[in-house]
Chain A
Amino acid sequence: MDWLNALIQGTLLGGLYALFAAGLSLIFGVMRLVNIAHGDLIVLAAYLGLVVTSAIGVHPILAMALVVPAMTLIGYALQRGLLNQTLGDDLLPPLLVTFGLSVILQNGLLEGFSADPQKLSAPGLETASVALGSISLGVLPLLTFGIAVAVIWGLQWTFYKTSLGRAFRAVSDNQDIAQLMGLNKRHIFGLAMALALAVTAVAGILLGLRTSFDPSSGGGRLIFGFEAVIIGGLGNLWGTLAGGVILGVAQTIGAKIDPGWQVLSGHIAFLVILAIRPQGLFPRMSG
């Protein structure tokens, strides 16, 4: 029963990792940009949640109504104002610039909020649980997983059923020809980053509800996100969810064996899958 419990908790945790990963995957898929600052942007969203909840006293979940649009705007502005200029045939400039951005975000947050760990509090939600036989499921992890599935479904729908998604795929396939069709790739990239950071906003708030965070928390989230993307297979959003779940389960099972092994066993699962199937478990496919 303990093992089953670990399996279920790991699956639910995987939902959060999938949310870390989804924005990363989307950005790489559309514009081949590896965003090193992704984890710090998640943490930025958590701090924005903190500001909103303490300033107007709303529930962190409701704070999403402000944080999501704010991160969406930041995403568009960041892409148009900075990241578009780094894109080209060479993969190195965007890597270096987003690495710099990561440093700037961490130091900015340190200036603004100090190094003290913070947490978003929602007293009812954090402790509530439902019993399933002898297993007790936290309402927050369940909610997180449900949101993750809804977000992945929404992204999948956007990608394959809307004209915006068609534009994303066209620009990803062939930037020149997409431009010939009347798509301004700089604008499309801006919209992709806006969407990615909207997802990041949701991830940041849920992260802040689950654990404490500080200005240096981003790196770890970035790694988990990367691992989930690679395990699932690049360019496949449902695969990203599966990747998050596998990572989450590996971590909770590892922690069950020895609490010190939680993070390590996630990395080991990642390395094993990378060695056996470098293309990921579910490489790119269409909807």
Chain B
Amino acid sequence: MPDPLLQMTGLDAHYGDFQALYGVGMVVREGEVLAIIGANGAGKTTLMRSVTGLITNDAGQIRFKGQDISGLRADQVAELGLAMVPEGRQLFPSLTVEENLLIGAQTGRKGPWTLEAVNALFPILKERRAVPATALSGGQQQMVAIGRALMSNPELILFDEISLGLAPIIIRDIYAALPGIIGEGMSAIIVEQDISKALSVSGRVYCLQEGRVSLEGASATISREDISRAYFGIE
């Protein structure tokens, strides 16, 4: 079997004295869409920050395409083909919509995603290209955040709670667009609190609870009971 695209082994993460992740192990295979679910404070965002290099980890804990990336800086990880749509969107307020998208292309990675392609996916962004990104509605800002991540033509894209703070109808539209986005030979990790949304777009799912993996399984067959036990820690 070929190396998995991304592999975490015994991943620990700390904020000062506080330990947020305890020996997490996960794999993402090429072309796979993985969901990570878990309650508030379970460590989902911490996991994303570790993988993308915003938190540095001890050697050997994270491998991407067979290479140990645990100690790399976030810009080095980005250049290898890993992108993230961060929690809360986090657009650059001093940059226009178009500049936010263009900065996503900073790594210079070539592929199907160009400014034209993102504008074709989300036509409203072309219309509003010259306004400051933070002047857009929440849903449009999320489109910019997704487009910005796509612009680096990543092999693996991480979505951290893309439905957070958005109206249900907008969430539905964004999830409807996801398969088309991920379809282009990309793998994805989707972090969500909305379990049914997460299961509907993913092949496999991991559940995090207080910094540990509490459940793993195929999204189609995993039982709801097991999930609520793993999610809330109810025995």
Interface residues of A (CB under 8 A from B): 163, 166-167, 169-170, 172-174, 176-184, 286
Q: In the complex where A170-B103, A182-B107 touch, is A177 in contact with B75 (Cβ < 8 A)? A: no
B1 to chain A minimum Cβ distance, whole angstroms, is: 30
Closest 4 CB pairs of A and B: A182-B107, A179-B74, A182-B78, A169-B94
Once bound together, how far apart are the Cα atoms of A170 and B102, in whole Å? 11
B contact residues around A179 at 8 Å (CB): 53-54, 73-75, 78
**Closest A residue, CB atoms, query B85:** A180
Interface residues of B (CB under 8 A from A): 52-54, 73-75, 78-79, 83-84, 86, 90, 92-95, 99, 102-104, 106-108, 132, 148, 152
Once the chains bind, are A177 and B92 in contact (CB under 8 Å)?
yes
**Closest A residue, CB atoms, query B94:** A169
Once the chains bind, are A181 and B86 in contact (CB under 8 Å)?
no
Q: In the complex where A180-B52, A180-B54, A181-B103 touch, is A170 in contact with B75 (Cβ < 8 A)? A: no
Once the chains bind, are A169 and B75 in contact (CB under 8 Å)?
no
Once bound together, how far apart are the Cα atoms of A180 and B92, in whole Å? 12
Q: Given contacts A180-B86, A182-B78, list 19 more A-B pairs with CB under 8 A.
A: A163-B102, A166-B99, A166-B103, A167-B103, A167-B106, A169-B99, A170-B103, A172-B94, A177-B90, A178-B103, A179-B73, A180-B54, A180-B74, A181-B106, A181-B107, A181-B148, A182-B108, A183-B103, A184-B75
Once the chains bind, are A183 and B132 in contact (CB under 8 Å)?
no
A contact residues around B73 at 8 Å (CB): 179, 184
Once the chains bind, are B54 and A173 in contact (CB under 8 Å)?
no
Once bound together, how far apart are the Cα atoms of A180 and B152, in whole Å? 10
Identify whether the interface residues of A are mostly helix, strand, loop, or mixed: helix
A193 to chain B minimum Cβ distance, whole angstroms, is: 19
A contact residues around B132 at 8 Å (CB): 286
Once the chains bind, are B92 and A169 in contact (CB under 8 Å)?
yes
Once bound together, how far apart are the Cα atoms of A62 and B193, in whole Å? 64
Once the chains bind, are A182 and B92 in contact (CB under 8 Å)?
no
B100 to chain A minimum Cβ distance, whole angstroms, is: 8
A contact residues around B103 at 8 Å (CB): 166-167, 170, 178, 181, 183
B91 to chain A minimum Cβ distance, whole angstroms, is: 8
A contact residues around B94 at 8 Å (CB): 169-170, 172-173, 286
Task: Identify which of A170, A172, A173, A177 contacts B86 (C-beta below 8 A).
Answer: A177
A contact residues around B52 at 8 Å (CB): 180
B contact residues around A180 at 8 Å (CB): 52, 54, 74-75, 78, 83-84, 86
Task: Identify which of B79, B86, B99 contacts A182 (C-beta below 8 A).
Answer: B79
Once the chains bind, are A174 and B92 in contact (CB under 8 Å)?
yes
**Closest B residue, CB atoms, query A176:** B54
Once bound together, how far apart are the Cα atoms of A167 and B132, in whole Å? 15
Once the chains bind, are B102 and A182 in contact (CB under 8 Å)?
no
Once bound together, how far apart are the Cα atoms of A169 and B104, in whole Å? 14
CB-defined A-B contacts under 8 Å, sample of 10: A166-B99, A170-B95, A173-B94, A179-B53, A179-B78, A181-B104, A181-B148, A181-B152, A183-B106, A286-B132
**Closest B residue, CB atoms, query A165:** B99
**Closest B residue, CB atoms, query A29:** B94
B58 to chain A minimum Cβ distance, whole angstroms, is: 20
